[in-house]
Amino acid sequence: MQKLSLDALAREHLERAAATPGGRSATTVFGGHEHTLRQTLLALTAGTNLAEHDSPGEATLLVLRGRVRLSSGDTEWEGRSGDLLVIPPARHGLQALEDAAVVLTVAKRA
């Protein structure tokens, strides 16, 4: 069994994101290319965007800190600390409205 502190990881990667020109930092928390399930912690500084991209499978976004906006087409959802957003199975993008840390969980398609 493995135990991780998401709070500590969020703090570490928010510091890393603030120190990079792109304003983001990420690490795989669980899984990877050889697994169906993958969890990734993403840290984004305020105003940073993840450009619109295709959905790789069923996915959720758990907001650990800050505030984000998930958009797909003309629809937007705002998430703040403690919110779980279900990512639509369509092209979507993400914007950090404040410095934010999120956990992206993806169950990739077979």
| Residue 1 placed within a domain | no
Cβ-Cβ contacts under 8 Å for 26 (sequence gap 6 or more): 13, 40, 41, 42, 43
Confidence (pTM): 0.92
Which residue range is the domain that position 67 belongs to? Answer: 6-108
| Residue 47 placed within a domain | yes
Is a pLDDT exceeding 70 seen at residue 35? yes
* Total of domains in the chain: 1
| Residue 57 placed within a domain | yes
**Residue 45: CATH number of its domain:** 2.60.120.10
pLDDT given for residue 110 in this prediction: 63
| Residue 104 placed within a domain | yes
Using CA atoms, how far residue 34 sits from 22, 31, 38, 42, 106, in Å, is: 28, 7, 9, 20, 13
Per-residue pLDDT reduced to its tens digit, 62-86? 999 999 999 999 999 999 999 999 9
| Residue 22 placed within a domain | yes
| Residue 59 placed within a domain | yes
pLDDT given for residue 83 in this prediction: 98
**What DSSP designation does 81 have?**
T
